Copies of this chain bind each other. A is one copy, B any other.
Amino acid sequence: MRTVIRRLGEALRALALITLPALGGSAWSVAWAQSPPDLGTPGAAIDDLVAANRILYRQGVVDGFGHVSIRHPERKDRFLMSASLAPGRVSKADIMEFDLEGKPIDQRGRSIYSERFIHSEIYKARADVNAVLHSHSPTVIPFSVSQVPLRPILNSAGFLAPNVPVFEMRRVAGSGSLLVTDSMRGKALAETLGDRPVALMRGHGNVVVGPTVQRVVARAIYTEVNARLLIQAITLGGPLVYIDAEEGRAGEGNRDRNEAGHGTDRIWQLWVEEAMGTNTGTNETKR
C-alpha cells in the first residue's frame, strides 16, 4: 500500500514538471523550481550559489541559519538567494529571485528568509558588490560584544585591515529583536558597513560582501580563522603586530591574480569538491 502511495507521488511530481511552464513564470524561476538534470540552468551563478551554501556550512561559518546571495548576473536590480532553508540543505531548485525591496519575484508559497533586507539594502548601496553573506560565524561573536576590535593578524585576512565595524541594533531600533527584518534596519546595517568587506552585528554574527561569491566565501572563512587566531594571540599577551593597510591591499591584489598561483580559485576548487562530494579527477580541471 505504501509503495502505491509513493508511486502516485512520483507520478504527480512528473506531471507538475510538465505543466508548470504553462502556468506562467519566467524561464529562470521555472528552472529553479525543478531538479537540475531535467532542465538547463541559466548559467554558473546558481551552481556557484548552491556550492557557496554548502561550503559555508561545511567550513563552520554557518550552522542551520545564515544566508548567502548573488546579484542577478543579467539584472542588476535583482538577486538570487535560497528559499528559507538551512544552507547545508540548499539545492538548485531552492534558489529564488528577489528585487531590491526584498520582494520575491515568484514566491509560489515558499517560505523566505526574514532577514533578506540585509541583502537588498547592501545591493542598493554598493554597486561594487555582487555577493552578500549573513552568518552567525561563531568566533566573531566575542568581538561583537567586547570593546576589542577585530583586526587582521593573518595575511589571508588582510582585507580586514585596519579593523571591522560593529553594527549595534539598539542604536537603530532600541532593545528588542536583533533581526534585520525590514528595509530601515537593512539600510542602517549597510551604513555601518560603508565601503568595507565585513561588518560585525553585535550578539548576532556578521555580514560579508565582495565582487564575487567566491571571494565572499573566502573572506567569510578567513574572517572566522583570523578571529580564532587573534583570541589566541591576545591570550599570549603583549603588543601584537597587525597586518597593516598596505599589506592588506597587497594581499587582496594577490587574490585577484589567479595566474600567480595565489588566487582564490585554488582553494575554491578544493572547497567545492569537499562540500559537493565531487572530485573532478582530471588534471585539467584541478588547475
Interface residues in chain A, defined as those with a beta carbon under 8 Å from any beta carbon in chain B: 1-2, 5, 8-9, 12-13, 33, 63-65, 83-86, 88-89, 91, 93-94, 110-115, 136, 138-139, 141-143, 145-148, 152-156, 175-179, 181, 202-205, 225, 228-244, 246-247, 250-251, 253-254, 259-262, 266-271, 273, 282-283, 286-287
Contacts and interface: CB of A to CB of B under 8 A. Distances in A.
Given A138-B229, A154-B203, A64 B238 contact: no
A203 B247 contact: yes
B177 A286 contact: no
Contacts of A110: 287
Contacts of A205: 155
A89 B143 CA distance: 34
A142 B86 contact: no
Nearest to A238: B147
Contact of A142 (B113, B175, B177, B236): B236
22 contacts: A33-B283, A63-B267, A64-B266, A84-B287, A85-B287, A89-B286, A94-B286, A111-B261, A115-B262, A136-B154, A141-B233, A142-B230, A145-B153, A145-B240, A145-B242, A146-B236, A146-B238, A152-B203, A177-B251, A178-B250, A231-B236, A234-B237
Contacts of A237: 146, 148, 234
B203 A243 contact: yes
Contacts of A244: 175
A266 B83 CA distance: 11
Contacts of A273: 89
A8 B266 CA distance: 27
A114 B146 contact: no
A146 B176 contact: no
A249 to B, nearest CB: 8
A251 B177 CA distance: 6
Contacts of A146: 233, 236-241
A85 B142 contact: no
Instruction: List 4 A-B pairs, minimum CB-CB distance, nearest first.
Output: A64-B267, A84-B261, A142-B233, A177-B250
Contacts of A63: 267
Nearest to A65: B267
Nearest to A226: B141
A269 to B, nearest CB: 7
A63 B157 CA distance: 14
